[in-house]
Amino acid sequence: MPRVKRGVMHAKRRKNILKQTKGYQWGRKSHIKEASTAILHAGVHARRDRHRKKADFRALWTIRLNAFLRERGLTYSKFIPMLKRASIDLDRKTMSSLIMNHPEVMAKIVESVK
């Protein structure tokens, strides 16, 4: 069986690791061990924050909705059950975009729920 020399793949793997850590500070951009652990940690944070982003946006929609409702004498916690009782199926994202782009339409929805 012929001998397999692995220098090319070893160099390629190191080059790819260092390419991924371009812009990192200190040894994490130039030392292989530190760079590979930095990539692992960056991946963990990226995955966590992709999932966290969904919760952050939902919180933003709730805050916008509550601010809009308080100007009209309601609160978020009272409005959502009233919305369900009136069997209006609008999610928070849609209501938030209505508040931003068409506040008069959202005001009519609030009046119809009252």
- 10-residue block means of pLDDT along the chain (114 residues)? 92 96 95 96 96 97 96 93 91 95 94 89
Residue 6 and residue 103: Cα distance in Å, rounded?
65
Assign domain 7-113 to its CATH superfamily: Ribosomal protein L20, C-terminal domain (1.10.1900.20)
Domain-wise residue ranges, the chain:
7-113
**Can you give the pLDDT at residue 114?**
84
Where helices occur in 1-114 by DSSP H, the ranges are 7-20, 32-71, 76-85, 92-101, 103-113
